[in-house]
Amino acid sequence: MGKYTLWFPLLFGLTIILMGCEERGRQPVIGTAGPSIHKLERLNASMRDSDLENAVHAKLETDPQLKSAYLSVNADAVRNEVTLSGIVRTHAARKKAIGLAKSAKPGVAVNDKIDVKPAA
């Protein structure tokens, strides 16, 4: 019986310490984002992407020549950039589209993938 009286408190204490360490690993650490926060940020970014796309579309709709052009707008609000793609009839229309897209939001970068194909 004398041998086991020393082991029991030692094993009990070790068990408590190990259980405490396990619980500590499950607690969120302040200053780090969990996976659910990253999902929320991406969800908000998606909403902002559509807002930026709508702002560029609205600017393009103000020009009659670009209104009839086949232009696609793809925005990434997190990176603050817009990609324009499609077909316009003149180089002037292409420059106008890029300028209008840049004016939709200050500091936005515009990736130009617009093809110029004059009318036949």
Q: For residue 16, what pLDDT band results from cuts at 50, 70 and 90?
A: confident
- Cα-based distances in Å from 103 to 1, 17, 25, 60: 85, 61, 48, 10
Rounded CA-CA distance 37/18 in Å is 29
Residue 26 vs residues 21, 23, 29: alpha-carbon distances, Å: 9, 5, 9
Report for 4-8, 20-24, 65-69: range of highest mean pLDDT: 65-69
For the chain, domain boundaries = 36-120
- CATH number for region 36-120: 3.30.1340
Coil, helix or strand at residue 81:
strand
As a whole number, mean pLDDT of residues 3-9 equals 70
Q: How far apart are CA 72 and CA 101, in angstroms?
A: 12
What pLDDT is recorded for position 70? 83
